[in-house]
Structure 1
Amino acid sequence: MADELFEAELFDEEPAEEKREKRQLNGAMGATIAIVVLFIVLAATVGIPHGLMGNDGASSSHWLPPVEDRTGKIYDDSDVFSRVSWNGSHAVGEVQSIFVEVPAITLKDGGAGATGDAEVHLGLWLPVIEGCDYTGNITEECKIPVIAEIGPYYDDGDVDALTPADRLGRFLIENFVPHGFGVAQVSVFGTGESNHCMDLMGLDEQAGIKAAVDWLGSQPWSNGKVGAIGKSYDGSTPWNAAAAGSDYLTTIVPMSGLIGLHELMWRNGSMEARGAIMHNGVYGSFGLDGDLEDAQNGCEGYMEGYYAGLAAYATGDDLSWMKSDYWTERYFLDRAMEMYNGSIYIIHGMQDWNVDPHMAFPTHQIAIDNGFEVKGLYGQWMHDYPDRPGGHDGGIGFPWSLRWDWADDLLEWFDFYLRDNGPQPRLIAEIQDDLGGWRVEGTYPPMDTYWNEMTLDQCEITSGSDTVTTTSQTVLDCGTMEEDFRIIGMPTIHIGARMLGTSGHLFVEMQRGSDGSHLGHAVMDLRFADGGKDGVAAYIPGTTVLAKMEFFAMDVVLEAGDNLVLIITQTGEDYIPSTVSTTQVNVFLDDRSTLSLSTVDRTCDDLFLPPMQEQYPMCMD
């Protein structure tokens, strides 16, 4: 079985408009069913003691308590990741090596399209279920869903796709296959044993991802439901899969995933250092290993990568004005909102400065506004998983950032969305602040957010001046907190600025005064003074603008007696100003500039304690 090859089938596409109508219809049907069920429950539970019902009206016998009630649960913490609290009954079958044909790749795409044999490779693990023969006639009780991790690292910086990967594959296989799920490790084009070219999240890669998902969902042994999960690049492929519109994709769990490539590496026209070389200088090399298939990297996207990064560095935008679609085809969110018809569980580290938190916010609320069922898990870890001690140790919010209940949480999620086994998981946002405290919000940022504003003339200049150059640093002390003050979501700072050249560049860091620790930061190329991806080519020297800067998402607490500090420089972190934006800028540190801090009122009474953790120090009497 390990070397048996399977052929992919072709499927009819469902128009996007029909998908939107279906999602709206599903919502209406869900509401109708909920009302009917409510009447049934009310009728059936008259006279039943209240103690037998949970807070939500669901049976309290559900195997996984609400997150607020898991404090006393004990989990196996002997491995590098979390374990489900109860083991499944099925053995893990031998891995199968599968090659899936991708006929959507044609001659115009170059690479393997020239020979018409484009294919993606995956390793597949199925549960051994008594009485089930996956090669024979399959009964309904033998059909299973599949959880897929899709990415470029199999055999390119990690084990091959037929070996459980320590990134996530081993966690998925050991936790969920015994519970009756299949698990697939899928190599994107140009990596592992998949041929064609390394397209770096482009439409070719999307076609390969869709072919793999369609194959997994259409096999005789499949129940027709596929979930996609992963972190970083592997956390971006779920969004790419959603944008492809596969009818079999039922849930996605993007962890530190990209909603778009340009959106990650450019912020208000300002580029991260890796932006110019990400395709050809980093991931493009994954497809080059000295064999005859190296020539297949000569595809459209790979060739475009040579100019797209450098050109976007110079202009700060997505090059749409020059009729290039390189960056726009690598933006997934809009297409996912249009084409996808499943649930979304977003996981992101609030201290992740590899894939910054602006990939998760305001995405969480955007998805809700588009009618999706959305959950979020947002801890103070860096570019990591929620349950990895090695990656959390010593970080902000540790040890409370560790979520030993995460495997259970996913089992509940996959059980419902891939097998229709209820009850439905709560659609909430679990958010951790930088003191370690976890709480539940209905969405993030919360709906009851309010704003505190101050003009910069209320701050004291303790160092530097109103002139920003390549070497300057201006420090503002913006006051001492009279009581604990929580800053959440995406605060803003609007700074009046006069440019001596045709452009300029600003970086603002927010710090805790007592120890100089980083709370948040904002960055902008002043050609994009209104924020976003649309800017101007150049200004007349001497032009004054209002730079409408937004901080990356944060959830931090300034305790009473501490003070808020702003540091204004030309740049920071790993942002590289365009060569035209390095000229001197004069900033207005008066009532023409405003700092707006978004906040909510929360206390220790609003916090929950994760399993296997001691009480929060700030909540001890």
Structure 2
Amino acid sequence: MLLRAAIAAVAVAAIGTVPAHAATGPAITVDKGRTQPVFSYADAIREHVYVESSVDSDSDGRLDRVRVDIIRPRESGPGLKVPTIIDESPYYDNSGRGNESERKVYDAAGEPVKFPLFYDNYFVPRGYAVLNVDMVGTTKSDGCPDVGGRADVLGGKAVIDWLNGRAPAFHDDGSPAVADWSTGKAGMIGKSYDGTLANAVAATGVEGLETIVPISAISSWYKYQRSNGVIYNFNYMSYLSRAVDTDPAAKCAAKRAQLDVDADDTTGNYNGFWAERDYVAGSLGDASKVHASVFVVHTVNDLNVKPDNFSVWWQALAERNVPRKIWVGQYQHVDPFDFEGRRDLWVDTLHRWFDYWLLGVNNGIMREPRADVQVGPADWVT
């Protein structure tokens, strides 16, 4: 028992955080600049809550509630608060996530039993909570998809606010849900639309979002759908809204029709609709508000989210001295988890990045080269 107490004390000192009360069982442990897998994944708490947002995107007279599926160490709570990694996505019940198109799986009581991708089974044993958030209008959240607009952005922001005690959340029975296990520090990560939501929420300047890892992500929906006014796809906004919404078509039909009107494909002009969906210099959020660190991953051959969506964002962050890091690959619309020969390096780099920004682990990652750039099939320079 004395040895366990001594190890716990050293671990806490190494990360610079002290829990309010001593927790029974393992504590967050750091060795060689990395948190260690000391918590049981099998015994982790799996639960869900509904966070109340500030928008009513389906005009039903009620504020949209955002479904948040949570997995966290069983020891987490008032006596052992943990940081949070969030993947907010519109894809959890349609196209799924990753190359295997993984979807969430629930038990008979509606609790999540399978989380897509690897973030949960890697980071929960190391002392993190992992949240899979259903974007407004998708899967088990209320509302209508807003394709980068207010509902999309403020729904995700509400989750950060809830983790910091600034927004309400509820259990299925209507009772209040309190994140008494949260340090308040959160990071957002995701590829494509998921990473776009991370960019968007960071651009609001919400307090408590300490870092984001946008992968192949949009920073301006106008740049995503226009090239100097030339339109890539007509009526794309309503198409994407429908693609991610598995509710009956009639529910959000009026919203989708309005998306196409406001997008103004007739002229291709940049207007207030696109300014709301511009996270570099927009009306809802912009780079000047970003105080989260940013770890960008993109590829120069991505013909879905084209490279100007990261380059303009990166330049705006650099002009404001936002702490940042970048990987630039030669692939197409590909997650770094699948970059040839770099999976282990990606997972370790991401691990150290989150440890540094969410737990204060002094592991030197910010003293390393800022950029990794692929110059050949197996050739990267830093």
State the TM-score, normalizing by the size of structure 1.
Answer: 0.49
Q: For the Cα contact (< 8 Å) 2:280–2:316, is it kept in 1? A: no
Structure 2 residue 50 is the aligned partner of structure 1 residue 99: yes
For 1:208, the equivalent position in structure 2 comes to: 155
CA displacement at 1:271 relative to structure 2 = 2.4
| 1:353-374 Cα distance to aligned partner (Å, 9 max, x none) | 1111111113223212112001
Q: C-alpha separation between the residues in 2 aligned to 1:367 and 1:344?
A: 8
Structure 2 residue 290 is the aligned partner of structure 1 residue 290: no
| 1:168-188 Cα distance to aligned partner (Å, 9 max, x none) | x43101111111011000011
Amino acid at match of 1:251: T
Q: For the Cα contact (< 8 Å) 1:217–1:226, is it kept in 2? A: no
For 2:186, the equivalent position in structure 1 comes to: 226
Q: Percent of aligned pairs with the same residue?
A: 26
For 1:305, the equivalent position in structure 2 comes to: 259
For 1:115, the equivalent position in structure 2 comes to: 61
Q: C-alpha separation between the residues in 2 aligned to 1:163 and 1:122?
A: 13
Amino acid at match of 2:190: G
Q: For the Cα contact (< 8 Å) 1:91–1:127, is it kept in 2? A: yes
Q: For the Cα contact (< 8 Å) 2:94–2:246, is it kept in 1? A: no
Structure 2 residue 269 is the aligned partner of structure 1 residue 317: yes
Amino acid at match of 2:309: M
Instruction: Rate the CA distance shift 1:186–1:362 in 2: closer, same or farther, 3 A.
Output: same
List runs of 5+ in structure 2 lacking aligned partners.
1-29, 97-102, 106-111, 166-178
Amino acid at match of 1:432: Q
For 1:429, the equivalent position in structure 2 comes to: 371
Instruction: Rate the CA distance shift 1:151–1:117 in 2: closer, same or farther, 3 A.
Output: same
Instruction: Rate the CA distance shift 1:297–1:126 in 2: closer, same or farther, 3 A.
Output: farther
For 1:146, the equivalent position in structure 2 comes to: 84
| 1:149-168 Cα distance to aligned partner (Å, 9 max, x none) | 01101112222373544xxx
Q: For the Cα contact (< 8 Å) 1:202–1:330, is it kept in 2? A: yes
For 1:63, the equivalent position in structure 2 comes to: 32
For 2:125, the equivalent position in structure 1 comes to: 178
Aligned pairs for 1:228-377 (under 5 A) are 228-272=188-232, 275-290=233-248, 294-295=250-251, 298-299=254-255, 302-309=256-263, 311-312=264-265, 314-318=266-270, 320=271, 325-334=272-281, 335-377=285-327
**SS in structure 1 at match of 2:67:** strand
Amino acid at match of 2:308: H
Q: C-alpha separation between the residues in 2 aligned to 1:429 and 1:237?
A: 23
Structure 2 residue 325 is the aligned partner of structure 1 residue 405: no
Q: For the Cα contact (< 8 Å) 1:276–1:308, is it kept in 2? A: no
Structure 2 residue 41 is the aligned partner of structure 1 residue 89: no
Instruction: Rate the CA distance shift 1:365–1:306 in 2: closer, same or farther, 3 A.
Output: closer
Q: For the Cα contact (< 8 Å) 1:164–1:170, is it kept in 2? A: no
| 1:63-82 Cα distance to aligned partner (Å, 9 max, x none) | 37xxxxxxxxxxxxxxxxxx
Q: C-alpha separation between the residues in 2 aligned to 1:252 and 1:229?
A: 6
| 1:243-301 Cα distance to aligned partner (Å, 9 max, x none) | 222111110100000001111121122222xx32322123324335338xx535544xx
Q: For the Cα contact (< 8 Å) 1:280–1:305, is it kept in 2? A: yes
Structure 2 residue 142 is the aligned partner of structure 1 residue 195: yes
**SS in structure 2 at match of 1:95:** strand
Q: For the Cα contact (< 8 Å) 1:156–1:191, is it kept in 2? A: no
Q: C-alpha separation between the residues in 1 aligned to 2:252 and 2:230?
A: 33
Instruction: Rate the CA distance shift 1:265–1:296 in 2: closer, same or farther, 3 A.
Output: closer
Instruction: Rate the CA distance shift 1:172–1:368 in 2: closer, same or farther, 3 A.
Output: same
Q: C-alpha separation between the residues in 1 aligned to 2:275 and 2:113?
A: 35
Q: C-alpha separation between the residues in 1 aligned to 2:245 and 2:377?
A: 43
Q: C-alpha separation between the residues in 2 aligned to 1:431 and 1:408?
A: 17
If asked which structure has higher relative contact order (CA below 8 Å, sep 6+), I would say: 2
| 1:360-406 Cα distance to aligned partner (Å, 9 max, x none) | 11322321211200100112222111122xxx5xxxxxx45x34211
Q: C-alpha separation between the residues in 1 aligned to 2:359 and 2:73?
A: 15
Amino acid at match of 1:115: G
Q: C-alpha separation between the residues in 2 aligned to 1:226 and 1:421?
A: 15
CA displacement at 1:209 relative to structure 2 = 0.9
CA displacement at 1:224 relative to structure 2 = 1.1
Q: C-alpha separation between the residues in 1 aligned to 2:268 and 2:308?
A: 17
Q: For the Cα contact (< 8 Å) 1:152–1:234, is it kept in 2? A: yes
List runs of 5+ in structure 1 lacking aligned partners.
1-60, 65-83, 393-398, 441-621
Q: C-alpha separation between the residues in 1 aligned to 2:343 and 2:257?
A: 43
* Number of residue pairs aligned between Structure 1 and Structure 2: 321
| 1:203-247 Cα distance to aligned partner (Å, 9 max, x none) | 121111111121134322111101000000011000111122211
Amino acid at match of 1:375: K
Instruction: Rate the CA distance shift 1:267–1:434 in 2: closer, same or farther, 3 A.
Output: farther
Residues 339-348 or 151-160, more deviating: 151-160
Structure 2 residue 364 is the aligned partner of structure 1 residue 418: no
Instruction: Rate the CA distance shift 1:179–1:244 in 2: closer, same or farther, 3 A.
Output: same
Q: CA RMSD in A?
A: 2.4
Residues 226-235 or 155-164, more deviating: 155-164
**SS in structure 1 at match of 2:133:** strand
